[in-house]
A and B are shown apart, each in its own frame.
Chain A
Amino acid sequence: MSKLGLIIKREYLAKVRNKSFVVMTFLSPILMVGMIALIVYLTKVNDNETRVIGVLNQSDYFSTDFQGTDNTSYVKFRDVDLEAAKDSIIKMGLYGLLYIPNAPNLERVAENAVFYTKDAPGSSVVTNLESVFENRLRMERLQDLGVSASDFNKLDLSFEINTTTFSGEQNLKGINEIKAFIGGGFGYLIMMFIIIYGGFVMRSVIEEKTSRIVEVIISSVKPFQLMLGKIIGTSLAGITQFVIWIISASLLLGMLVFIFGIDPSALNSGAENTPGLIGGAANFANSETTMQLYANELFKIPWAMLITFFMIYFILGYLIYSSIYAAIGAAVDNEADTQQFIFPIILPLMLAIYVGFFSVFNNPHGPIAVGFSLFPLTSPIVMLMRLPGGIGEGGVPVWELLVSIALLVVTFIGIVWLAAKIYRVGILMYGKKPSYKDIFKWLKY
């Protein structure tokens, strides 16, 4: 076996046999599925809770407006004064008391209404109550203006413009967002992988330095071989972990659905609450035919191409970042000293994710999206968010893709070369915390 092979094997086994790694590998899917189950359960519990609100209405209005809904019901109080009503609300343990005093006209009645609760009320409760008042007030004003309720309802409309490409294909609302979201998923995966396993590489370098074995090893192999073997071995361990996670999480999820009969679509309710646009897009897709169109559109996403480029950007991006992590590990003596160096690495990654979500979603081919998908430290994430739109006409221009990959390859060679230099000097420097200036000097050794 070649020396590089030996190093890769050792790094892989050292990582895979590590107790905390094993625990994380097998516990994480259980924790994750458990969390999802808990969220689903809690959401259901939350939905099932019914709030009972007392209404003390002394006015001539609102006698029929407060109708119970799924999770709110109203109890009407009659012929009692406010204090007595409050007392009985507390005694009965009801959610709150809506007090509507009498006044000469509707406007004044509404203004003087008070909602009493034990603690500050939930915003959804208040919104519901407010909408009841708003509707009643609107009706009143419509009557004053002489507009009938049915005429008013006719005014309530929404409009969607049809959009097509020049070649006549119908564009679907939100399909860009869905595509970017899929690409974003890939990009996010790359970022997580870099942060988790780059950190592993760094800690492994620090461990070799503090245990003082590094000089023994580099008297047998070149420092660059050691660095490369470490990065590859750790990544293989990472990929193993990812595969185990994906397989066991889907098995567990399947079991959960089977045993508890949880509707998988209920899981999407969580996604809808995120600022992501899937939920918004799903709202458009109400009718069967639009659903069909979306499905067609998703099938049209060039998955093979996407996965190929995912692999290219993943490998290059990960190697760039993990060699920087290795250089940082070599430069310092303990993990506490790494903070000042890690921040500048995380920065472009975070920037890529945020730019991706805020700019690429809106305009996949705008100048910012193009710029960041060419810049090599952000391109692995941003370009993947643009790629589901396809390559060539209507998608990412071929030259942009080529330039982006070319820049990434050049940067990859440059960064790995620089990192290897820092690594080579750094692993033999003990006992002092280097500054950026020191590290810059090492490059000239």
Chain B
Amino acid sequence: MNNILVANEVTKKYGNHIALNKISLEIPKNSIYGLLGPNGAGKTTLIRIINQITYPDQGTIIFDGKPLEAKHISMIGYLPEERGLYKSMKVGEQALYLAQLKGMSKSEAKAKLKYWFERLEIGDWWNRKIQELSKGMAQKIQFIVTVLHEPKLLIFDEPFSGFDPINANLIKDEILRLKENGTSIIFSTHRMESVEELCEYIALIHKSEKLLDGKLSDIKNAYKNNIYKVGLGLHSSNGILDDLKDKFQILSSEYVDNGQQLNFTVQLPSNDTGAFLTHLSGKANVNHFTETIPSANDIFIKTVQNKQPI
């Protein structure tokens, strides 16, 4: 059993509006799975179904090999995008309350809280009220209560919003460490740079439909379109550019270093680079030759835009 969570053709309707249309996903164990999509795509609905806040109209969810049921709630940790804490309740009391609701005993919760409070250097906040803390400080507490009960599956919806860069980094490291320790993580966001950094797998949801999913590196390979960046060292301006333009599809070009170097991007008909390199050899020195791999951002925008007219 290598998947912590499998969704089979999950469909959810709100009145006439279809929020999720036959979404199927496989979320491997011990990985960080990016759930991507524009606002209103249906990410939150899917996450709420996994958390059993709402239920699918059709389709099933398998958690750790068994159909999802109420007892799994204590094995899932959820940091919602719309999050907050009781403002007039004390930090320690509140964390204990939320931990107990997840099924922990009071003493167990207390010990773990102590560990986490020391870890994130917030030891002396126990008796302070949330309304006395800054937003970033409250977010730290929020993170702790999400992970405290050591769930098998963690779901973070835009986890870095509300953090300054230093604390965002701290939380990112904690997320990576949790993954190292065996937790599976679903990571919902539209901030693509953190997707590149963290996710091994992604799924892209747009207008209630899943557009693509799989290993991020596989998807990137699939989205490669044989575009290469080339730098040539020239001895003299020998008309090589015109020659290349005749034979290949040159997307852009520029001379640098007083005409000593020609940089250009070329789209080759296939991923067979041999013919192209053979053509160049003897005519110029190849200073660099790299394949451009599309960023997650490019893939996101491209896929969503291609789907737009439907």
Closest-by-CB residue of A relative to B131 is A211
Is B303 part of the contact surface with A, judged by Cβ < 8 Å? no
- Specify which chain B residues have a CB less than 8 angstroms from the CB of A14 in the assembled complex: 86, 88-89
Q: Is B295 an interface residue (CB 8 A)?
A: no
B186 to chain A, nearest CB (A): 13
- Nearest neighbor of B80 in chain A, beta-carbon distance: A215
Contact A6–B84 (Cβ < 8 Å): no
The distance from the CB of A163 to the nearest CB of chain B, in whole angstroms, is: 60
- The residues of B that contact A430 with a CB separation of less than 8 Å are 82
Contact call A220/B15, Cβ cutoff below 8 A: no
- Whether A76 sits at the interface, judged by CB under 8 Å, is no
| A218 touches B (CB below 8 Å) | yes
Chain A positions within 8 Å of B100 at CB level: 1, 6
CA distance A14 to B90 in the complex (A): 11
Within 8 A of B (CB), among A1-40: 1, 3, 6-7, 10, 14, 18
Point out the residues of chain A lying under 8 angstroms from B15, CB to CB.
441, 444-445
A444 to B73, CA, bound (A): 25
- Enumerate chain A residues within 8 angstroms of B52, measured Cβ to Cβ: 219
In Å, the complex CA distance between A294 and B88 comes to: 53
Please tell me if the beta carbons of A219 and B82 are within 8 angstroms of each other in the complex. Answer: no
Q: Which residue of B lies closest to A210 (CB)?
A: B84
- Please give me the residue from chain A that is nearest to B15 by CB atom: A441
Which residues of the other chain, A, contact B80 by a CB distance below 8 angstroms? Answer: 212, 215-216, 219
B126 within 8 A of A: no
Shortest distance in angstroms between A445's beta carbon and chain B's nearest beta carbon? Answer: 6
Q: Would A213 and B85 count as touching, CB distance under 8 A? A: yes
Residues of A within 8 A of B310 (CB): none
Once A3-B101, A6-B101, A212-B82 are accepted as A-B contacts, the answer to whether A219 and B14 lie under 8 Å apart by CB is no
**Given A14-B89, A428-B53, A445-B15: A219 touches B83 (CB 8 Å cut-off):** no
Per-position 1/0 for B76-101, Cβ under 8 A of A: 10101011111111000000011011
Give the size range of A's interface with the partner: 20 to 34
Tell me whether A217 is interfacial, beta carbon within 8 Å: yes
Interface residue B175 (Cβ < 8 Å from any Cβ of A): no
Are A219 and B78 also in contact (CB < 8 A) when A3-B101, A6-B101, A444-B15 are? yes
Is the beta-carbon distance between A220 and B98 smaller than 8 angstroms?
yes
- Say whether A211 contacts B98, CB under 8 Å: no
When distances are taken between beta carbons in the complex, the residues of chain B under 8 Å from A217 are 98, 101
A247 contacts partner chain B, Cβ-Cβ < 8 Å: no
List the B side residues contacting A445 at CB < 8 Å: 14-15
B53 cross-chain contacts in A, Cβ below 8 A: 215, 218-219, 223, 428
Given the complex of chains A and B, what is the CA–CA distance between A219 and B156 in angstroms? 13
Q: Is B265 an interface residue (CB 8 A)?
A: no
B188 within 8 A of A: no
Contact A220 B14 (CB under 8 A): no
Interface membership of A221, Cβ < 8 A: yes
Complex CA–CA separation, A2 to B168 (angstroms): 35
- Whether B22 is near chain A, meaning CB under 8 Å from some CB there, is no
Nearest chain B residue, comparing its CB with the CB of A218: B53
B101 neighbours in A (Cβ, 8 Å): 3, 6-7, 217, 220-221
Q: How far is the CA of A208 from the CA of B73 in the complex (A)?
A: 21
- CB of A2, distance to nearest CB on chain B (Å): 10
Q: Is B86 touching A219 in the complex (CB atoms < 8 A)?
A: no
C-beta contact mask, B1-45 vs A, less than 8 Å → 1, else 0? 000000000000011000000000000000000000000000000
Which chain B residue shows the least CB distance to A221?
B101
- The residue in chain B whose Cβ has the minimal distance to the Cβ of A444 is B15
Give the distance in Å from the alpha carbon of A211 to the alpha carbon of B87 in the complex.
7
Q: How far is the CA of A95 from the CA of B87 in the complex (A)?
A: 62
A430-B85 Cα distance, complex, nearest whole Å = 16
Q: Distance in Å from the Cβ of A128 to the closest Cβ of chain B?
A: 60
Indicate with 1 or 0, residue by residue over A200-234, a CB within 8 angstroms of chain B CB atoms.
00000001100111011111110100000000000
Most chain-B CB neighbours within 10 Å: which of A6, A219, A445? A219
Instruction: Report B-chain residues with C-beta under 8 Å of the C-beta of A219.
Output: 51-53, 73, 76, 78, 80
Is A216 touching B87 in the complex (CB atoms < 8 A)? no
Contact B82 A215 (CB under 8 A): yes
The answer on a CB contact under 8 Å between A212 and B83 is yes
A13 to B251, CA, bound (A): 69
The answer for the CA separation of A299 and B86 in the assembled complex, in Å, is 50
For B84, list chain A residues within 8 Å (CB): 211-213, 216
Chain B residues near A218: list those with CB within 8 A.
53
A60-109 CB contacts (< 8 Å) to partner B? none
Cβ of B220 within 8 Å of any chain A Cβ, yes or no, is no
In Å, the complex CA distance between A221 and B103 comes to 10
Separation of A184 and B76 alpha carbons in the complex (Å): 52
Q: Tell me if B102 counts as interface (CB < 8 A to partner A).
A: yes
Residues of B within 8 A of A441 (CB): 15
Chain B positions within 8 Å of A444 at CB level: 15
Determine if B86 and A220 form an interchain contact, defined as CB atoms under 8 angstroms apart.
no
Shortest CB distance B154–A (Å): 12
In contact, A215 and B83 (Cβ under 8 angstroms): yes
| Cα-based distance from A46 to B74 in the complex (angstroms) | 70
B145 interfacial by beta-carbon distance below 8 Å: yes
Residues in B whose Cβ lies below 8 Å from that of A215: 53, 78, 80, 82-83
Closest A residue by C-beta to B73: A220
Q: Given contacts A219-B78, A220-B102, A441-B15, are A211 and B86 in contact (CB under 8 A)? A: yes
Chain A residues, CB < 8 A from B98: 216-217, 220
Q: Looking at the assembled complex, report how far the CB atom of B89 sits from the nearest CB atom of chain A, in whole angstroms.
A: 7
Residues of chain A lying within 8 A (CB to CB) of residue B97: 6, 10
Distance, CA A427 to CA B122, complexed state (A): 31
Q: For the complex, give the distance between the alpha carbons of A435 and B227 in Å.
A: 54
CA distance A213 to B80 in the complex (A): 9
Q: In the docked arrangement, what's the CA distance between A221 and B84, Å? A: 16
Select from chain A the residue with minimum beta-carbon distance to B100.
A6
Give CA–CA (A347, B194) in the complex, Å: 55
A213 to B130, CA, bound (A): 12
**Chain B: minimal CB distance from A11 (Å):** 11
Q: Which 3 pairs from chain A and chain B are nearest by CB?
A: A212-B84, A220-B101, A215-B80
| B interface residues with partner A (beta carbon < 8 Å) | 14-15, 48, 51-53, 73-74, 76, 78, 80, 82-89, 97-98, 100-102, 142, 145
Given contacts A219-B52, A220-B102, A430-B82, 11 further A-B contacts (CB under 8 A): A6-B97, A7-B101, A14-B89, A211-B84, A211-B87, A212-B84, A215-B82, A216-B80, A216-B145, A223-B53, A445-B14
15 contacts between A and B (CB under 8 A): A3-B101, A6-B97, A208-B86, A211-B85, A213-B84, A213-B86, A215-B78, A216-B78, A216-B84, A216-B85, A216-B145, A219-B73, A220-B101, A220-B102, A445-B15
